[in-house]
């Protein structure tokens, strides 16, 4: 029975933490974005995020995006810099057509920092892409 289950590989979907200016509060903030580089819409997107280490685990956060259009992106959540010393996992589940996809993105501890920022062309902003 297990051999009959096919789990499709997720391609052209990325997760980024971006350092950007907040016009409302006049601060520089870290925000998490989900990027859809596919030529099709993603539907019923659910993101479950959690920070963890050997000694500490944060609460689970859940976010839903009804539809992420083709070749677009969505801001998912604000991220506090204190969380960068933890591993930060984002489990993303979505439908592409009638097929369910799932992928886990990981920002390893201490990898999100100003010195690691790179231009992310889809966002036209500087940030760090998840592995």
* Amino acid 123: pLDDT: 96
CA 30, CA 21: separation in Å to the nearest integer? 9
Q: CATH code for 13-113?
A: 2.60.40
3-state secondary structure of 65: strand
Banded model confidence at residue 6, pLDDT cuts 50, 70, 90? confident
- Residues 6-20 as b/e (b if ≥16 CB within 10 A, e otherwise) read eeeebeebbbbbbbb
What are the boundaries of each domain within the chain?
A: 13-113
pTM of the model: 0.92
pLDDT the model gives residue 1:
63
Query: What backbone torsions phi and psi does residue 53 show, to the nearest 5 degrees?
Result: -145, -170
Give yes or no for residue 7 having a pLDDT over 90: no
Q: Which of 18, 33, 46 is nearest to 76 (CA)?
A: 33
What pLDDT, in 10s, does the model give residues 32-80? 999 999 999 999 999 999 999 999 999 999 999 999 999 999 999 999 9
pLDDT average, residue stretch 11-18 = 97
Per-residue pLDDT of 73-110, as tens digits, reads 999 999 999 999 999 999 999 999 999 999 999 999 99
């Amino acid at each position: 029975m297990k051999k009959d289950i096919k789990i499709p590989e997720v391609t052209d979907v990325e997760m980024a933490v971006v350092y950007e200016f907040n016009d409302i509060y006049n601060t520089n903030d870290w925000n998490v974005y989900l990027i859809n580089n596919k030529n099709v819409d993603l539907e019923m997107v659910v993101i479950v995020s959690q920070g963890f280490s050997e000694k500490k685990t944060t609460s689970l956060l859940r976010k839903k995006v009804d539809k992420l259009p083709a070749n677009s992106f969505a801001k998912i959540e604000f991220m506090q810099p204190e969380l960068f010393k933890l591993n930060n996992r984002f489990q993303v589940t979505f439908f592409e057509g009638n097929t369910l996809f799932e992928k886990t993105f990981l920002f390893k501890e201490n990898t999100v920092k100003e010195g690691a920022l790179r231009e992310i062309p889809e966002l036209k902003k500087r940030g760090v892409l998840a592995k």
